[in-house]
Each structure stands twice: as structure tokens, then as C-alpha cells.
Amino acid sequence: MAVEKLSSYREPVRKSITVACDSAHAFSVFTSGIARWWPLATHSISTDRARECVIEPRVGGGVYEVRDDGERFAWGRVLAWEPPVRLVLSWHAGMPAELAQEVEVRFTPIAQGTRVDLEHRGWEALGPGAGDAHKGYNAGWESLFVKLFAAACAQPTTQPST
Amino acid sequence: MAYQATLHALADPTRRAIFEALQQEASSVGRLAEQLPVSRPAVSQHLKVLKGAGLVTERRDGARRIYGVELNGLVELRRYLDGLWDGALEAFRQEAEKKPSGRKGSRRGR
């Protein structure tokens, strides 16, 4: 499958913010401190029963939330762990792991502190997992989703108003 | 959440196949059942989920119901993610700027 071609269609969500602290601190708050800022009540699988969320500090580490009874719900895995510069997570919070996307976060020192660039990408992965990639059912799904998604993103209804 | 509903709907390979078929051409339950190795009742069930996720629309053509793809479902998904990260990163910024010394677990004066 022509991955280069697909990638030109996909439209990742990109966000940049500046935080007034050094990049080591920003990286640490983003990762080991994620439970202190992630909006768990609204953005979690167990919502009001979610107690905390965790990014394990190593490649292959788990990313998960913990419910009040101790049950864990996977959000993804750590794909790249490069403190204090870069973090890449696979991301499938609330969906089957085969629908994992990627979230990359970069921390760049600047005069005012740290610029944090986040990219949520990999829409073409919203298709078959490696295991069932050969099933005819799923043939064409990648390009279908990417095409539809790109078309949807191109619609003028998406307003960047804040 | 619209986002979750969208992805849940598309997580099933049969539903993806239906969604894909509808993208080629709007269709009835009967035609979909002919094209896919799935019974009519199963197709109806899947269409219900896809409709619930805002991915499929339904119109009447005489006695028949014709189903088609609704792009707004994907717009919603994109919008949800956009809002999610706006909110999450703002909360992150506030947390990161609380303790510029980088110490964890220490009490801080306000």
C-alpha cells in the first residue's frame, strides 16, 4: 500500500503551546505528572470513577488509567521516551488497540520557557491491526478512511474559534 | 462521546465493510446483505450502530430505506480531538507553571 501517498492525505491534529518553565520540568509534568492535569473526569474511560492516569517512563511502558477499584484501562504504550525532548505514545483510549493512533509531543527550549508541540496522527491506522491486515474485508479501508477523513477535515464547518 | 461512538462503530470489521460499501454507493439493507456475507437482520443492526454514531444517514425511497455515508461523523471526531487537546494542554500548562523549580510533591505557597 502506498503509505507515502496516504500520509499526504492525513490531517493530524497539531497543537503548540508555550509554558513558562524549562523543558525538563515540562517533560516531567507531562509524563510523571499527567494525573495532576489530565481532565480525567471528562476524558477517561471510567469517567467519574477514574482515579489517576499513568505514563510509564520507558519505551514499551504502559499508558493507562486506574479506576477507583484498582482496575486498569489501557490508553496506549510508550513508543519513544527521550526526556526532556520528545515523547511518542500509541493512543487508543477507549477503543480496541488495533485502532491505535500516535501522539507525539516535543519539548523545545525557548527564551520564555518551553514550546510544547503536540501532534495526534496516524488516522490511517484506524483500520485493521497487523493481525487481520490480509482479510479482504478490510481491503481499502485505510484509503477509505483517510479520504473521508481528509474530506471531512476540509469542510468549512470546522471553526478554529476559541 | 461522539469520538468514542465513531470509533466504536468503526472498530467492527463488518461495520467497516458496510461503511465502505455505502461510500461507493448509497444502498438498501437488502443490497448490502447481497454484497456482504451477512444476514439482513445483522446488516440492519450494524446500520443502527453506524447511524447512532452519526456515520450513516437514512432516507426513504418509496417503501425502501436507502442508507448513505454521513461525513459529519468524521468531522465530529476531528472536532472532539481538537477540543480535547486544547483543554488538556491548557491544564498541562497551568500545572507545569505551578512549580517552576521542578520539585515534585513539595508544598508550595500561593
Which has the closest alpha carbon to B19: B4, B38, A89?
B38
Q: What is the pLDDT of residue B58?
A: 94
Who wins on pLDDT, A101 or B59? B59
For the cut 90, the answer to whether the pLDDT of residue B2 exceeds it is no
Q: How confident is the model at residue A123 (pLDDT cuts 50, 70, 90)?
A: low
Who wins on pLDDT, B15 or A43? B15
Who wins on pLDDT, A162 or B22? B22
Instruction: Return the HEC string of chain A.
Output: CCHHHHHHHCCCEEEEEEECCCHHHHHHHHHCCHHHHCCCCCCCCCHHHEEEEEECCCCCCEEEEEECCCCEEEEEEEEEEECCCEEEEEECCCCCHHHCEEEEEEEEEECCEEEEEEEEECHHHCCCCHHHCCCHHHCCHHHHHHHHHHHHHHCCCCCCCC
Q: What is the pLDDT of residue A120?
A: 86
Nearest by CB to residue A138, choosing from B16, B71, B82, is: B16
Average pLDDT, chain B: 82
Nearest residue on chain B to A22, alpha-carbon basis: B100
Say what the ipTM of the complex is: 0.71
B-contacting residues of A 123-162, CB under 8 Å? Answer: 126-128, 132, 135, 137-138, 140-141, 144-145, 148-149, 151-153, 155, 157-158, 162
Instruction: Please return the burial class of A48, using the count of CB atoms within 10 Å of its CB with bins 0-12, 13-18 and 19+.
Output: exposed
Amino acid in position B51: K
Size of interface A-B (CB pairs under 8 A): 129
Is some CB atom of chain B closer than 8 A to the CB atom of A98?
yes
**pTM of the complete model:** 0.68
Who wins on pLDDT, A25 or A153? A25
pLDDT tens per residue, range A33-45? 999 999 888 778 8
Do residues A77 and A63 make contact, with C-beta atoms less than 8 angstroms apart?
yes
Q: Find chain B residues with C-beta within 8 A of A28's C-beta.
A: 102, 104
CA distance to partner chain A, nearest, from residue B71 (Å):
6
Average pLDDT, chain A: 75
The percentage of chain B sitting over the pLDDT mark of 90, rounded to a whole number, equals 44
Test B11 with A99 for CB contact under 8 angstroms.
yes
Q: How confident is the model at residue A98 (pLDDT cuts 50, 70, 90)?
A: low
Q: What is the pLDDT of residue B55?
A: 87
Nearest by CB to residue B84, choosing from A43, A96, A126, is: A43
Nearest by CB to residue A26, choosing from B13, B16, B96, is: B96
